[in-house]
Amino acid sequence: MKPENTSNRLSILVVDDEESIREGSERILTRMGYQVYKASRGSEGLEILGQHPVSIVLLDLKMPGMDGMEVLGHIQRLNSEILVIIITGYATLETAIEAMKQGAYDFIPKPFEPDQLRIVIKRAGERIRLTEETEKLAQERQRNLADLGTEKSRIRTIVESLPNGVLVTNVQGQVALMNPAFQWLMGIEEGTCIGEPIDDCIQDNGFCQLVNDISAGKEQSLPATYEFTTSDEKYLLASGRPVLGDEGECLGAVVNLVDITAMKVLDRLKSEFVAKVSHELRSPLSTIHEQLALVLKDMVENESPRDQYLLSRAKEKTQGLISLIGDLLDLSRIEAGNVCIDCKPVKLDELLKSIVDFMEIRASTKNQGLKLVLPDEQLPVISADPRALESVFGNLIANAINYTPDGGAIEVGISIVPEKIRIEVSDNGFGIEAKDIDNIFKRFYRVKNEKTRFVTGTGLGLPIVKGLLDELGGSIQVQSEPSHGSTFTVFLPISTSNLPQN
Ligand code: ADP
């Protein structure tokens, strides 16, 4: 244990039977800023050491009673950190070596000059300062390590207590961490899987693919998400990101897993409610609509322009409500997975021709040109639900007519690209601003501006198109320039696997 010094001054004890040495040393050392204690005998010196904190002892070797070597031994046992400097009149190499062997720090021959003493004491003072500094650094390091340890265990506790599942893998897709929530959600036994490839731990191929792709740094869309169900009917949503090193290199993946079962059930209940209400409203509304049409027809003959105007507005509104209900029912059917179950061989050119013929009547009321451009090569027959395809292209062509001014031009083109058929519906109408393009596939989203103000709609057409294409295994892209027009491009897979074999 280090002697405790209450003042900042270091203390020195001078043990020598010669008074002149004690007095002379005290003068020099006090001037150097030390607190000085004096003793004329070894036993007296040891007593002082028991009462006061002392850092350096100047010790005479030759004293009556207990000699210097013996006192040195006692000091070593009492406190080995005290620096003992031997004062000897017999400054032989042997005595010096012996004293050093016993643990003395230095020695000074007797008689000595004040400067000699100053040099030796300065050296000892420097040594004490360095020792203190080293100790301080060691303590600081110890504290940092302790902090780090606490921080690590704190993070571990947090990860373990998270209600969401957390999975961490290395670059090979092997499990590095799996918190209890993850194990519970996936029905994995505690303590298993660490170090195993993810494919050996989890049954769902899509999930493993996602984890492996992110771990290997292949996944581009971030955060990459994947929705799936477990064998015990839980709906789970996984979203993952790569873990990047200092140089931006991929070190593995971190995946967050959330139980979305409650949300899914609520969503289903909401859809069922909307479907039920829509269904109940459809028949009475259609009846009102037809009756309004009849009354209006009679009124033309009776020539009552104001009533005629009011009733035609009412008829328009009921038509709007009927369209909304139709769209809501279509969406409910898509959500319930009740479309595209009736896949048949479809000749896309014939199907598009009949839709274009039908829509031409609408286009001609706005003096718009609507044409279908077929490829020279023969189109492959695809397997799809024809009613779903009619709804997709009916909606896209209706939009092109609605959002293109009178006299505009609309074109439907078909081409074959690798493994897919591409259908483009282009117009030279109002176009869509970039900020709206991401939103037009969201339910009830309608672009509101001076040009679209007078177009009636539900904001459900494009969500229906997107929903149907997802079911058909297709996709849709949009390119548009405000005031120049838009092109909606649909890709449908060419798959003959479920066509009837001849
Ligand atoms: P609705 O047409 O009933 O409003 P949609 O879901 O079909 O709903 O379309 C959403 C929005 O996308 C429309 O309100 C319209 O602003 C925009 N839009 C769709 N098709 C076109 C198009 N061909 N040209 C310009 N805007 C379009």
Q: Does residue 32 belong to any structural domain of this protein?
A: yes
* 103 and 195, same domain (yes or no): no
Mutate to test the pocket of ligand 1, among 403, 442, 489 (most ligand atoms within 8 A of CB): 403
Return the CATH number at 286. Answer: 1.10.287
Banded pLDDT at 91 (limits 50, 70, 90)? low
pLDDT of the residue at 347: 92
pLDDT of the residue at 228: 93
Ligand 1: centre distance to CA 271 (Å): 23
* 278 and 418, same domain (yes or no): no
**Ligand 1 atom nearest 445 alpha carbon:** 10
Residues 117, 118, 122, CA angle at the centre, nearest 5°?
120
Return the CATH number at 489. Answer: 3.30.565.10
d(CA 38, CA 446): 98
Report whether pLDDT(252) > 70.
Answer: yes
Q: Does residue 238 belong to any structural domain of this protein?
A: yes
pLDDT of the residue at 102: 83
* 276 and 223, same domain (yes or no): no
Ligand 1: centre distance to CA 431 (Å): 9
Tell me: the pLDDT tens digits for 144-198?
777 777 888 888 888 888 999 999 999 999 999 999 999 999 999 887 888 999 9
- DSSP track, 259-300: E-HHHHHHHHHHHHHHHHHHHHHHHHHHHHHHHHHHHHHHHH
* 128 and 195, same domain (yes or no): no
Q: Does residue 146 belong to any structural domain of this protein?
A: no
Q: Does residue 145 belong to any structural domain of this protein?
A: no
For ligand 1, atom 16, the nearest C-alpha belongs to 447
Identify the top-confidence range among 78-87, 264-273, 331-340.
78-87
Question: Where a domain ends, among 211, 234, 259?
Answer: 259
Tell me: the pLDDT tens digits for 1-26?
444 444 467 899 999 999 999 999 99
Banded pLDDT at 90 (limits 50, 70, 90)? low
Tokens describing residue 393: 């292209």
Q: Is the CB of 240 under 6 A from ligand 1?
A: no
Return the CATH number at 166. Answer: 3.30.450.20
Flag whether the pTM goes above 0.85. Answer: no
- DSSP track, 316-332: HHHHHHHHHHHHHHHHH
* 328 and 223, same domain (yes or no): no
* 65 and 196, same domain (yes or no): no
Q: Does residue 6 belong to any structural domain of this protein?
A: no
Banded pLDDT at 402 (limits 50, 70, 90)? very high
Ligand 1: centre distance to CA 396 (Å): 9
Mean pLDDT, residues 443-447 taken together:
92
Instruction: State the first-to-last Cα distance of the chain, in angstroms, to the nearest integer.
Output: 98
pLDDT of the residue at 124: 92
Mean pLDDT, residues 351-364 taken together:
96
Question: Where a domain ends, among 236, 259, 282?
Answer: 259
d(CA 218, CA 216): 6
* 268 and 243, same domain (yes or no): no
pLDDT of the residue at 1: 43
pLDDT of the residue at 42: 93
Ligand 1: centre distance to CA 412 (Å): 17
Q: Is the CB of 429 under 6 A from ligand 1?
A: yes
Burial of 80 (0-12, 13-18, 19+ CB in 10 A): exposed
Range(s) of the domain holding residue 206: 162-259
For ligand 1, atom 18, the nearest C-alpha belongs to 399
**Ligand 1 atom nearest 464 alpha carbon:** 6
Mean pLDDT, residues 67-93 taken together:
85
Ligand 1: centre distance to CA 440 (Å): 7
Mean pLDDT, residues 321-346 taken together:
84
Question: Where a domain ends, among 285, 307, 335?
Answer: 335
Tell me: the pLDDT tens digits for 416-441?
998 899 999 999 999 999 999 989 99
- Look at residue 50 and give its three-state secondary structure: helix
Tell me: the pLDDT tens digits for 122-134?
999 999 999 888 8
* 39 and 171, same domain (yes or no): no
Ligand 1: centre distance to CA 227 (Å): 29
Taking Cα atoms as reference points, which of 348, 390, 381 lies closest to residue 494?
Answer: 381
Q: Which of 94-98, 150-154, 317-321, 360-364 has the lowest mean pLDDT?
A: 94-98
Q: Does residue 297 belong to any structural domain of this protein?
A: yes
Q: Does residue 438 belong to any structural domain of this protein?
A: yes
High-pLDDT (> 70) share of the chain, %: 94
* 239 and 129, same domain (yes or no): no
* 122 and 194, same domain (yes or no): no
pLDDT of the residue at 333: 83
* 121 and 57, same domain (yes or no): yes
**Ligand 1 atom nearest 427 alpha carbon:** 23
For ligand 1, atom 11, the nearest C-alpha belongs to 446
Ligand 1: centre distance to CA 355 (Å): 19
Q: Is the CB of 440 under 6 A from ligand 1?
A: yes
pLDDT of the residue at 299: 78
Ligand 1: centre distance to CA 278 (Å): 22
Mean pLDDT, residues 399-404 taken together:
97
**Ligand 1 atom nearest 462 alpha carbon:** 6
* 319 and 185, same domain (yes or no): no
Report whether pLDDT(43) > 60.
Answer: yes
Q: How many domains does the chain have?
A: 4
For ligand 1, atom 7, the nearest C-alpha belongs to 461
